[in-house]
């Protein structure tokens, strides 16, 4: 009525459209089905109210002139909250009723109001169902990061649509309910997923720990104590695992590997230093690990003793005095020894054959050991390690050999630490010369690999080690089930059990050259069966895909040297060495000499 009076309109000019809205002259007021209008509220600007407010007493006293209200709608009402109940509006938590009415009248006159269309409930229901479908069907399929991005994007989209419709179109859709559902649903689903994942992880960890413990026990039962220790360390420590580790430490002690026993006991002490007699065991293992002990695990005597004052009397092995331990091999320990009579310093390789072979095989294995050692001792070549002596002491068999300053080639097969190509070719060519010499003496190495090729960079000295050792063990099964030899370097005929000759050594040497040139083995597999199949049937990958700097001449050389059939390879160490040097000297060569067929 106020809006109509201000426009000089009568009651007859007010038309009501039930369920749709009201018209006042040319003004259209959109309402909901109950004829309720959603008023637009005007914000204050620069600290001033959107509408002029004057005190009634100022008007009455004349401070405010009556002319100020000419041609204006003037509303009179209470503004003190103690005298008139206030209302909550979008711009004020406590707005006087008269001011609320002013906003309403202005909204009508300027047709500023928010409209909730009759079809709004349909849109709101559709949006709600879409959000629910997203939470039920799509969100569980997404990864956590992607789910968070999609959910945040939907929340932002709902907010933007809501604001744009209200400010730009004056249209009010209830989109906050779907937004709340989206946020709450996402949080609940992520919380549930986290809880389920954590529970699954706990179950998985428990299962992995149980498997690791069983594998540790299995390896310990086979005598592979290092592998057992690796698996036991993957299991969370408790009293049961501590018992397993304690027994493992005792097994290391029985094998006189006191440094490893010390490592086990020290690992246990970090968890519970008061476990059984752990402190005593740890101190004893530490003391004994600093003392050179000889002999196997049969309980035989040793000739090492601790003298008064804690000094150690150096043990003797045959006629050699043991100075210190140099390292460990697959079946024994290598010591630095000295012949007191002539002052010769030697490397002594021991083999605890009694621990590795059954009693019915032991006699035959020992006979073969001394026969092969004698045969290898006859080799005299500048690139073959010289063997001086062989013998048996306590339950150890040993070979005294030339002491070398250099180390094996194993560190030089790792990417980033490769030898220069000329060095690698030079080393392998000299090894081929040595193998050619040995093969003419009817001696086959059987275990050529970088670890058995000694190299001293300063003097550029190359030596082939361990001649005859592989032959001692290749046809016998050890007590521990240990795999002797290195399958990755074996030739197809060696893997198939055929008679092995010098061709097999040259194949292994070609594998070693391939690895030295690119840092990767030519044949690899996830299992022993897969590895054997690839060695026997599949050609080696093109080395240039790994190291493009390898010349075509060397590629062609490797193709022939790694042929599956022995008669298609180089037929001797001398031919192998000559062809290798020629391939390196002529890098552009596409094929080794003798492989090109020229027809007219």
Contact call for residues 352 and 296 (beta carbons, < 8 A): yes
The pLDDT of residue 331: 61
Domain boundaries, the chain: 2-114, 312-403, 406-600
Tens of pLDDT, residue by residue over 511-538, are 999 999 999 999 998 888 899 999 999 9
Angle formed by the axes of helices 225-232 and 239-254, nearest 10°: 160
Contact call for residues 448 and 481 (beta carbons, < 8 A): no
Q: Which residue has the higher pLDDT, 58 or 394?
A: 58
The answer, yes or no, to whether residue 61 has pLDDT greater than 80, is yes
The answer, yes or no, to whether residue 500 has pLDDT greater than 60, is yes
Q: How far apart are CA 363 and CA 359, in angstroms?
A: 7
Catalytic machinery residues: 447
> Mean pLDDT, to the nearest integer, of 545-550?
92
Q: For domain 312-403, which architecture applies?
A: 2-Layer Sandwich (3.30)
Tens of pLDDT, residue by residue over 191-204, are 887 777 667 666 66
Tens of pLDDT, residue by residue over 357-403, are 666 777 777 777 787 778 778 888 999 988 888 888 766 788 888 88
Chain position carrying tokens 């089905």: 33
Tens of pLDDT, residue by residue over 127-158, are 999 999 988 888 888 888 888 898 899 999 98
CA dihedral 334, 340, 343, 348 (to 10 degrees): -10
The pLDDT of residue 475: 43
Contact call for residues 488 and 523 (beta carbons, < 8 A): yes
The pLDDT of residue 590: 47
Classify the C-alpha dihedral 305-310-313-317 as positive or negative.
positive
Q: How far apart are CA 493 and CA 167, in angstroms?
A: 85
Tens of pLDDT, residue by residue over 467-492, are 766 554 444 444 444 444 568 999 99
Q: What percent of the chain has pLDDT over 70?
A: 86
> Mean pLDDT, to the nearest integer, of 564-589?
89
Tens of pLDDT, residue by residue over 246-297, are 999 888 877 767 788 889 999 999 888 888 888 888 887 787 666 555 554 4
**Joined tokens for residue 272:** 């519970």
Contact call for residues 285 and 258 (beta carbons, < 8 A): yes
Chain position carrying tokens 């959000």: 131
CA distances to 5, 414, 543, 590 from 551, rounded to whole Å, are 102, 20, 10, 9
Number of C-beta neighbours around residue 530 at 10 A: 12
For domain 406-600, give its CATH number from 3.30.70.270, 1.10.3720.10, 3.30.420.130, 1.10.510.10: 1.10.510.10
Contact call for residues 283 and 249 (beta carbons, < 8 A): no
Chain position carrying tokens 């004020």: 92
Pairing status of strand 387-393 against strand 344-351: unpaired
Is residue 326 within a helix (H) or strand (E), and if so which, with residue range?
strand 320-328
Contact call for residues 5 and 109 (beta carbons, < 8 A): no
Q: What is the DSSP string of 170-220?
A: -B----HHHHHHHHHHHHHHHHHHHHHHHHHHHHHHHHHHHHHHHHHHHHH
Is 317 strand, coil or helix?
strand
Sorting pLDDT into bands at 50, 70 and 90, what band is 41?
confident
Is 171 strand, coil or helix?
strand
């Amino acid at each position: 009525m106020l809006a109509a009076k201000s426009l000089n309109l009568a009651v007859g000019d007010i038309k009501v459209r039930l369920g749709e809205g009201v018209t006042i002259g040319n003004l259209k007021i959109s309402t909901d089905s109950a004829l309720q209008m959603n008023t637009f509220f005007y914000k204050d600007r620069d600290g001033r109210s959107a509408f002029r407010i004057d005190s009634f007493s100022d008007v009455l006293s004349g401070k405010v002139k009556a002319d100020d209200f000419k041609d204006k709608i003037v509303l009179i009402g209470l503004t003190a909250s103690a005298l008139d109940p206030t209302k909550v509006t979008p711009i004020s938590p406590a707005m006087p009723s008269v001011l609320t009415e002013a906003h309403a009248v202005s909204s009508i006159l300027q047709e500023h109001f928010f409209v909730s269309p009759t079809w709004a409930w349909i849109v709101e229901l559709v949006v709600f169902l879409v959000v629910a479908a997203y939470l039920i069907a799509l969100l569980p399929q997404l990864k956590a990061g992607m789910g968070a991005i999609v959910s945040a994007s939907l929340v932002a989209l709902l907010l933007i649509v809501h604001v744009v419709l209200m400010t730009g179109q004056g249209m009010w859709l209830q989109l906050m309910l779907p937004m709340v559902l989206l946020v709450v649903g996402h949080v609940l689903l992520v919380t549930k997923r986290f809880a389920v994942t954590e529970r699954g992880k706990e179950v998985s960890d428990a299962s992995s720990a149980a498997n690791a413990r069983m594998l540790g026990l299995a390896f310990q039962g086979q005598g592979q104590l290092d592998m057992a220790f690796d698996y036991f360390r993957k299991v969370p420590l408790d009293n049961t695992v501590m018992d397993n580790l304690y027994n493992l430490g005792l097994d290391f002690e029985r094998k006189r590997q006191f440094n490893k026993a010390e490592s086990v006991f020290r690992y246990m002490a970090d968890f519970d230093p008061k476990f059984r007699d752990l402190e005593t065991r740890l101190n004893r293992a530490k003391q004994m690990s600093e003392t050179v002990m000889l002999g196997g695990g049969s309980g035989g005597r040793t000739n090492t003793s601790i003298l008064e004052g804690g000094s150690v009397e150096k043990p003797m092995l045959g006629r050699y005095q043991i100075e210190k331990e140099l390292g460990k091999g697959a079946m024994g320990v290598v010591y630095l020894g000295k012949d007191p009579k002539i002052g010769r310093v030697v490397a002594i390789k021991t083999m605890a054959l009694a621990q590795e072979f059954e009693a019915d095989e032991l006699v035959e294995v020992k006979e073969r050991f001394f026969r092969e050692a004698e045969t290898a001792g006859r080799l005299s070549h500048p690139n073959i390690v010289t063997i001086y002596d062989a013998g048996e002491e306590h339950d150890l068999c040993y070979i005294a050999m030339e002491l070398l300053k250099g180390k094996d080639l194993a560190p030089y097969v790792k990417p980033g630490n490769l030898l220069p190509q000329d060095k690698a070719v030079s080393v392998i060519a000299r090894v081929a010369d040595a193998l050619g010499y040995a093969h003419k003496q009817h001696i086959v190495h059987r275990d050529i690999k970088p670890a058995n090729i000694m190299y001293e960079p300063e003097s550029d000295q190359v030596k082939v080690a361990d001649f005859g050792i592989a032959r001692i063990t290749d046809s016998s099964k050890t007590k521990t089930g240990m795999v002797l030899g290195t399958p990755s370097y074996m030739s197809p005929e060696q893997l198939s059990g055929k008679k092995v000759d010098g061709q097999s050594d040259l194949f292994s040497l070609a594998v070693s050259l391939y690895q030295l040139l690119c840092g990767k083995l030519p044949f690899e597999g996830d299992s022993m069966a897969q590895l054997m199949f690839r060695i026997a049937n599949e050609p080696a990958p093109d080395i240039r895909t790994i190291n493009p700097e390898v010349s075509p001449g060397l590629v062609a050389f490797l193709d022939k040297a790694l042929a599956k059939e022995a008669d298609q390879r180089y037929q001797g160490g001398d031919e192998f060495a000559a062809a290798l040097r020629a391939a390196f000297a002529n890098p552009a060569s596409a094929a080794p000499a003798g492989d090109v067929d020229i027809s007219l």
